[in-house]
């Protein structure tokens, strides 16, 4: 998913399916007081993808990527279109995306 840190400042956040973003943890990690989810039109404008299909791969802008440290060894990530996903080793995903790992989620 994509989140907005500030005006024209976004990042991708990789979250396991059985967890939710912990907004206090995410704000603390990013050292910001406020963070939000862009609406559907804004998300499409900054990524090139519709909500539900957003992926860092092929995004219109290479925003930074933050991955929750609880990602399993193998993960599924959206492939940019409805019903399309990629199954990859999380270590490879993190390396290819140059993602930063952090504790930013909580159980559902």
pLDDT digits (tens, 9 = 90+) for 28-76: 999 999 999 999 999 999 999 999 899 999 999 999 999 999 999 999 9
- Enumerate the β-bridge partners of residue 106: 20
Q: Are 31 and 25 in contact (CB under 8 A)?
A: no
- In the chain, how many domains are there? 1
- The structure tokens listed for 53 are 């299909």
Check which CATH number belongs to the domain holding 48 and give it. Answer: 3.90.960.10
Q: Which domain holds residue 31?
A: 2-107
Number of Cβ within 10 Å of residue 46's Cβ equals 19
Rounded to whole angstroms, the Cα distance separating 49 from 51 reads 6
**What is the structure's pLDDT at 44?**
97
Can you tell me whether residue 37 is helix, strand or coil? coil
Mean pLDDT, the chain, rounded, equals 96
Q: Which helix (H) or strand (E) holds 4?
A: strand 2-6
Q: What is the separation of C-alpha 64 from the centre of its chain, rounded to a whole number of angstroms?
A: 9
């Amino acid at each position: 998913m994509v989140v907005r840190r500030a005006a024209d400042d976004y990042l991708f956040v990789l979250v396991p399916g059985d967890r939710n973003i912990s907004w206090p943890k995410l704000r603390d990690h990013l050292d910001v007081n406020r963070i939000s989810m862009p609406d559907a039109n804004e998300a499409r404008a900054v990524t090139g993808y519709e909500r539900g299909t957003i992926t860092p791969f092929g995004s219109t802008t290479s925003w930074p990527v933050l991955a929750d440290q609880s990602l399993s060894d193998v993960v599924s990530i959206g492939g940019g279109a409805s019903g399309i996903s990629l199954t990859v080793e999380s270590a490879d995903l993190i390396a290819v995306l140059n993602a930063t790992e952090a504790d930013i989620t909580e159980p559902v």
